[in-house]
Amino acid sequence: MKRIIHTTRAPEAVGPYSQAVEINGTLYISGQIPIDPVTGKVIEGDIREQTAQVMKNIAAILEESGYDFSGVIKSTCLLTDMNHFADMNEVYAGYYPQDPPARATYAVAGLPLGVLVEIETIAVKPA
């Protein structure tokens, strides 16, 4: 059965989508951007600060759903500038100290609200 996930500890969707959807033991987290869930505004800061906020938002959704980073099996990272890759990667890596998930990273022409990074995530419940 499909379960829609929502938490106030992550930003509200900026379009017609759910924060996450769980089905058959798999959690699909929509692309998260660096919005502070308290203010509802994009955080000010560089790629490191924006990536940290994105990862906090993902953590809140994982926790709300009963998952954690150890269950993440795939991430897709979108960057507006591939020159930000190393800095984004350094922050991202801190959430996966061992056995990191599969991942793709793309440079894109633009992201919602002018942010520098967006990350979507797929997770399964740890066995």
Per-residue pLDDT, 14: 84
- The pLDDT value recorded for residue 127 is 66
pLDDT at 70: 95
Q: What is the pLDDT at residue 7? A: 97
Residues with pLDDT less than 50, the chain: none
Digit-coded pLDDT (tens) for 60-93? 999 999 999 999 999 999 999 999 999 999 999 9
How many Å apart are CA 47 and CA 27, to the nearest integer? 26
Query: Token pair for residue 9?
Result: 């500890």
Residue 23 — φ and ψ, nearest 5°? -150, 135
- Domains, the chain: 3-124 (3.30.1330.40)
CB atoms within 10 A of CB 56: 18
* Strand 102-107 relative to strand 72-79, pairing: parallel
Q: Looking at residue 36, what is its pLDDT?
A: 98
